[in-house]
Amino acid sequence: MDLIPASEVPDVQIAQSPVWVDRAKGNFSATGFTSYSTNAYGDLMAAAGLAKPDPAKAIRNYRALVVVLTDKAQLTNEVTTKLTSSITQFTIPSVADSSWSHNGVLLLHNFWMATGGRATYAMNQASNWRKQEAPNCQISENYGTVAPGANVQPSASCAPTASDYIWSPQGSGISQNATVTVSPTQSTTYTVKGVNSFGQGATASLQVQVVPGLPKNLPGGYVWYKNRSWAPVALGAARLSYANALAYCSTTALNDQTGWRLPTRDELEGLLKAGVTPPPSAQPIAWTSTPYSPTEQYVLDLESHTLYRSTTASLSAAMCIR
């Protein structure tokens, strides 16, 4: 590195006819040693075609970039903190602090110490570490059922960010649109792949179930199944006794329509078994109109599809049908 002037370099001794005695310990024998002064050894280097050391031409300020290769999506804060600390200790233009010591003894030398304070090293800090990979996408919408020809807008959300998207069956080419508008006339599964400089990511899919006869103006949260409308779980009255749930469905105008009722056990189970998913609710346990006993009704967990029984005085959700 040409950092030390010749006056500070001791003579160089070269062994003649060396033979290993114990390579593991670094022991060897020789017929003799030849000593060279620093200048004389520099002349030997020049004669061999190597550059002769010259402190006046030495590079004393170095820069480096840290690149971490990992199979993790993101380094933990603990690992990032340790990396940053190590980078800081290695590059500071002074003696490393106690984090590199044990019982007061410095175990490691940083760059400044190793060069006798003659050179420095600048290096970036550890931040914003992320695995470089093709995008993994999800389609955020869940439409459940729609009328034939109704507009549907699947939208892809990808990490890392995608520069392009491959939608299918909406054409086979690459699009820069994360959202597409489609109007299926039959049940269709739409797929998307995110694309960036690392390639194509895994396929995300969305199944849109088209139901003939379903009104196109069915509001969000409503479901159409077996020629019946299903209203979402009662908002603002999510926990009702059985009597109040009956009254809610029979007296409330939902979607400007009356004539609603509670579903039977078979109707609600059939809806869930058919894969028609009601909108999520803070109260997933819903009443059915099917009695278990004179004082109990069947209720159904809309998330786990588990059937329970509940006293009519208990509180559950009202999901109405007409």
One domain, residues 271 and 297: yes
Among 267, 300, 263, which residue's Cα sits nearest to residue 285?
300
One domain, residues 71 and 94: yes
CATH code, 148: 2.60.40.10
- CB atoms near residue 300 (< 10 Å): 25
Asked, for residue 320, whether it belongs to a domain, the answer is: no
Contact 162/201 with Cβ under 8 angstroms?
Answer: yes
Q: Domain limits at 158?
A: 136-210
Task: Give the number of domains in the chain.
Answer: 4
Give DSSP secondary structure letters for 16-64.
ES-EEEEGGGTEEE-SEEEEE-HHHHHHHHHHTTPPPP-GGG---EEEE
Angular region, 129: left φ>0, alpha ψ -120 to 50, beta rest: beta
Among 138, 115, 134, 126, which residue's Cα sits nearest to residue 55?
115
Residue written as tokens 């062994």? 15
Domain boundary among 210, 239, 261: 210
pTM recorded for the entire structure:
0.37
Contact 21/7 with Cβ under 8 angstroms?
Answer: no
Asked, for residue 217, whether it belongs to a domain, the answer is: no
**For the segment 200-214, what is each residue's pLDDT rounded down to a tens digit?**
888 998 888 887 766
Asked, for residue 130, whether it belongs to a domain, the answer is: no
- Type of residue found at 7: S
Asked, for residue 318, whether it belongs to a domain, the answer is: no
Asked, for residue 129, whether it belongs to a domain, the answer is: no
d(CA 227, CA 218): 13
What does each of the 322 residues of the chain score in pLDDT, given as a tens digit? Answer: 678 877 777 888 889 999 999 988 889 999 999 888 877 877 877 787 777 778 788 888 888 887 777 766 566 777 777 888 888 888 888 888 777 776 666 667 888 888 888 888 887 655 555 556 788 888 876 666 777 877 778 888 888 889 899 998 865 456 778 888 888 888 888 899 999 888 888 899 888 888 776 666 566 667 766 777 777 776 545 688 999 999 998 998 887 788 899 999 998 888 777 666 565 556 678 899 999 999 999 998 888 888 899 999 999 888 888 8
Asked, for residue 218, whether it belongs to a domain, the answer is: no
Question: What is the number of residues in the chain?
Answer: 322
Asked, for residue 104, whether it belongs to a domain, the answer is: yes
